[in-house]
Every structure is written in C-alpha cells, then in structure tokens.
Amino acid sequence: MPARRKEDQPEELEQIELDLLLNGIYRKYGYDFRDYARASLKRRVLKRVKLEGLDGISELLGKVLRDDECMARLLGDLTIHVTSMFRDPSFFTAVRASIIPILRTYPYVRIWDAGCSSGEEAYSLAIMLEEEGLYDRAQIYATDISEEVLARAKEGIFPLSTMRENTQNYLAAGGTGSFSDYYRARYENALFRPDLRRHIVFAQHNLVTDSKFNEFNLILCRNVMIYFNQRLQSRVLKLFHESLEQFGILGIGKKETMRFDPIAKHFEILDENERLYRRMS
C-alpha cells in the first residue's frame, strides 16, 4: 500500500480546498483574503458551508462563483464588524492628552480611520475633535472594505440599546459634554447629529489591494490587522508608513503591534500601552 501522503489527510485536503476558494474569490470578485489569519478564516468559511446546506468548501466555491448573493453573505462572514464608540476608552484618553496638542499645531488636520466598520470610531473622533475645538479644521476619511457597514455609517443611526455602553465609554474616555447631546432617540434607534458628519467622508478602501490615496497627520487602524497574517500586516504597515506625513501619528489596536516589523525603525513609540507611534523617517 502506498504511503499516505500529507495531502491525502482530511485536514490537508480542506486546506487545499480553502486555497482554491480564496483564489476563486480573488479572481472573480477581486477580494483578497489569501493572507488573512487562517484558523479563524477557516472557521467562518465552514460555518457558511453549513448555513448554505452544502457538503464542503469545494461546493461553496462552486456556489460563490455563480451566485453574487452567496458571495455577499460570505463577505459578511469573513469581515468582523464588532465595534463601539470610544472603544478601549484609555486609547481616546491618550489621544486627547498627547495627540490633540500635536494636531493643534497644524493649520489643517487630515485623519484616516482605516477599517472604520459602521462608523462608531469616526463619530467618536468627530465628537472628541469638536470638544477640543479642532473639528472645523479637520477632515476624517473613514474607510472599510464592506459597503454594507459603510452604508450604516453614512446614516449615523445606531441601536439605542448600545447607548449605555457608548455613554460609559465616552465618560471613561474623558468626554467633556453630555453624550446624549450628540444624538436623539427615535423608537429603537439613536440618530446622531448630522453636523457630526460634516467633516467625515465614508468610502470603500481595501487595505489589501488598494493603495495610498492621501497623506495624513493621524491614521487609526484598530482591530483590523488582528485578522491578517504577518505578511499582510507588514504590507499594511508599509501602506500606513507611506500614507503618513513626516511626524504623522499611527494608532493601532490593543492586541496589535508593529514591534517585530522592520518598519518599526521608522517610528518613535509615543505610547506602547495604547499603541501610538510617530513616523520619524
């Protein structure tokens, strides 16, 4: 009997099928998930296989290639949109205390919120800048891969049920006003003041396949790179380096780091705890 090859084992076969699925998605739709962290990606793909009532990843590939709606559902599974206003409040406290004074020295401030999900982070920034008297000379570009979450972000309507947590975060982040002044309640929803959006542009941008589109004084990309493998994290950090002006500031998520990436030599650590870095070269 021939020796059992590695590729014949169910685990390995599934890896091959997964590679084929990701290649197929890239070729047909242009979405490149090939360098997303594998374990969680596979879990989510297998969940979609089950939900579609299919037999395996290969069947999902066949369906996704022929059915755009199935692709949209899978896209929803592959991108995690969990977010909240003033998420990890100590990050915003640090931005208020040490980054705002730096931004104040510029006549005009350009900010990129990359992977903004349904917009809570961008609205948080707008509120903070408003309270610091900086909003009228700021422009926030808030981008995400997902059109669906961007549509929600543009509306500025969030479930009223999330306002308790958002208010707590706002207070913990050093908010100086009354959080309820920023929205009005209507039935089950909180409608955020439209003037908070006056300097936010929400647009689709894919960190994997799209390139630099402006130069920024501040880039936030929090809780996005955790879903990427090392190679993709490196690519995205390079994109941020290119997209920052000299002395521009980068803020990433609590569970993310640039410490082991070669690009780190171009940055000064402003606050390692809050993952705030400044481009020096």
Binding site for ligand SAM (CB under 6 A): 79-83, 87, 115-117, 121, 144-146, 149, 206-208, 222-224
Cα–Cα distance for residue pair 118/135, rounded to 1 Å? 20
Cα–Cα distance for residue pair 257/254, rounded to 1 Å? 8
| DSSP strand pairing (157-159 vs 189-192) | antiparallel
Question: Which is nearer to ligand SAM, 83 or 233 (by Cβ)?
Answer: 83
CB of 256 to ligand SAM, least distance (A): 10
Question: Which is nearer to ligand SAM, 60 or 145 (by Cβ)?
Answer: 145
CB of 232 to ligand SAM, least distance (A): 8
CB of 152 to ligand SAM, least distance (A): 10
Return contacts of 74-79, CB within 8 angstroms, 24+ apart.
74/25, 74/45, 74/48, 75/31, 75/146, 76/146, 76/148, 77/44, 77/45, 77/47, 77/48, 78/33, 78/36, 78/41, 78/44, 78/45, 79/145, 79/146, 79/149
CB of 45 to ligand SAM, least distance (A): 15
Question: Which is nearer to ligand SAM, 58 or 205 (by Cβ)?
Answer: 205
Hey, CA dihedral for 203, 206, 209, 274, is it positive or negative? positive
CB of 201 to ligand SAM, least distance (A): 15
Question: Which is nearer to ligand SAM, 81 or 137 (by Cβ)?
Answer: 81
Question: Which is nearer to ligand SAM, 18 or 239 (by Cβ)?
Answer: 239
Which residue reads 């050093």 in tokens? 174
CB of 53 to ligand SAM, least distance (A): 26
CB of 13 to ligand SAM, least distance (A): 27
Cα–Cα distance for residue pair 131/197, rounded to 1 Å? 15
> DSSP assignment of 138-205, as one string?
EEEEEEES-HHHHHHHHHTEEEGGGHHHHHHHHHHTT--S-GGGGEEEETTEEEE-GGGGTTEEEEE-
Question: Which is nearer to ligand SAM, 79 or 217 (by Cβ)?
Answer: 79
Question: Which is nearer to ligand SAM, 58 or 192 (by Cβ)?
Answer: 192
